Amino acid sequence: MATYLEFEKPIAELDGKIAELKHVANGGDINIAEEVAKLQAKTEKLLKQTYAKLTPWQKTLVARHPERPHFCDYVAALVSDFVPLAGDRAFADDRAIIGGLGRFRGRPVLIMGHEKGNDTQSRVRHNFGMAKPEGYRKAIRLMELAERFGLPIVTLVDTPGAYPGVEAEARGQAEAIARSIETCLRVKVPLVSVIIGEGGSGGAIALAAGNYVIMLEHSVYSVISPEGCASILWRSAEQAKEAAEALRLTAEDLKQLGIIDEIVNEPLGGAHRSRADTATRLGEALEAALARFDGMDGDEIRRQRREKFLEMGRQGLNA
């Protein structure tokens, strides 16, 4: 059963009618088939209209859609010979961040990212994609491994943020995130990051300080969640819609502001409506992004990344 977002009600109704008609149509009732085709055309038009002008808040909801493809879906679709690697060698394995070696279109890579899970059990297992210090420390370890063997790194970012808990603080959450950012910026192999869903604050940038940063069309990337921002600046989480507008968190805004390098368009109605198609589109973009760094030496790769971040915002933003 598909999950419809609040603003998709008219689409849900049409889909419901189509399903009903299909159900009553036994065999080739031409009238019903015609009616179904008409409704399907209508749905498509409505989807197109709706998704062409999603508000920042609606994009936030799409980015968090429970059926949106997650890290493991992209790995399954795009990576062969995947060898998952676990643990930070100090405390635990944090399944909010998954990573490993694999072959992407023939090229050995290290791929890692946040995994949110797709049902109650797996969401709990992956802690809803909210990593603890051991998660970032695993990420650091894997990035260093990739660097040692000259493998490019691909990170897929999808997190509400770093886990805010007593134990995470006791084990140095802030330090772990800081070191992870530092490692992203230091490695002498290409680092390509993709915001595939929610790019939530420090927990996101910990894996996203890359040479080349891509966003899926309906993903969001922000310093704070719209709800969090609203509750602080508007003193009420009710104002999340206004906060989402003000924060400029959509892919389009961030491309315009010069924060990200590329937007990958999603299929009609969002990634969750055509998961395979989305993975293919992302695959194309990733292949091209990695090819940019072919033949570039390690020092140059690091220098390019540093200069890019140091220059960011210096000329003002094209707001």
Partner 1 sequence: MSWLTNFVRPKIRKLVQKTDVPENLWDKCPSCGQMIFHRELNQNQRVCPHCGHHMRIDVKTRLELLFDEGKYERAETPRVATDPLKFRDRKRYTERLKEAQAKTEEQDAIVVAFGTMAGAPAVVAAFNFDFMGGSMGMAVGEGLVAAANLAVERKAALVAVPASGGARMQEGILSLMQMPRTTIAVDQVKEAGLPFIVLLTDPTTGGVSASFAMLGDIQIAEPGAQIGFAGARVIEETIREKLPEGFQRAEYLLDHGIIDMVVPRKELREQMGRIISLLTKRDEAA
The footprint of partner 1 (CB under 8 A) covers 162, 164-166, 168-175, 177-179, 181-182, 184-186, 201-202, 204-206, 209, 221-224, 229, 232-235, 242-243, 246-249, 254, 257, 259, 306, 309-310, 312-317, 319
Q: How many residues does the chain have?
A: 319
Nearer to partner 1, 113 or 228 (CB): 228
- Which residues, in sequence order, are bridge partners of residue 109? 102
Nearer to partner 1, 17 or 186 (CB): 186
Nearer to partner 1, 67 or 169 (CB): 169
**Calpha distance 75→72 (Å, rounded):** 5
Q: How far is the CB of 114 from partner 1 (least distance, A)?
A: 16
Q: Confirm if 107 and 81 have CB atoms less than 8 A apart.
A: no
The closest alpha carbon to 94, from 187, 148, 146, 165, belongs to 165
Neighbours of 76 (CB within 10 A): 13
Q: How far is the CB of 243 from partner 1 (least distance, A)?
A: 8
**Calpha distance 225→276 (Å, rounded):** 28
The closest alpha carbon to 191, from 104, 282, 96, 290, belongs to 290
Q: How far is the CB of 214 from partner 1 (least distance, A)?
A: 15
Q: How far is the CB of 236 from partner 1 (least distance, A)?
A: 10
Burial class (CB in 10 A: 0-12, 13-18, 19+), 8: buried
**Calpha distance 101→88 (Å, rounded):** 16
**Cα angle: 226, vertex 311, 223; to 5 degrees:** 10
Nearer to partner 1, 7 or 309 (CB): 309
Nearer to partner 1, 168 or 286 (CB): 168
Q: Confirm if 262 and 285 have CB atoms less than 8 A apart.
A: yes
Nearer to partner 1, 161 or 269 (CB): 161
Burial class (CB in 10 A: 0-12, 13-18, 19+), 52: exposed
Q: How far is the CB of 134 from partner 1 (least distance, A)?
A: 14
Q: How far is the CB of 41 from partner 1 (least distance, A)?
A: 39
**SS3 of residue 113 by DSSP:** strand
Q: Confirm if 251 and 262 have CB atoms less than 8 A apart.
A: no
Nearer to partner 1, 8 or 134 (CB): 134
Q: How far is the CB of 169 from partner 1 (least distance, A)?
A: 5
Q: How far is the CB of 315 from partner 1 (least distance, A)?
A: 8
The helix (H) or strand (E) run that includes residue 215 is strand 212-216
Nearer to partner 1, 53 or 235 (CB): 235
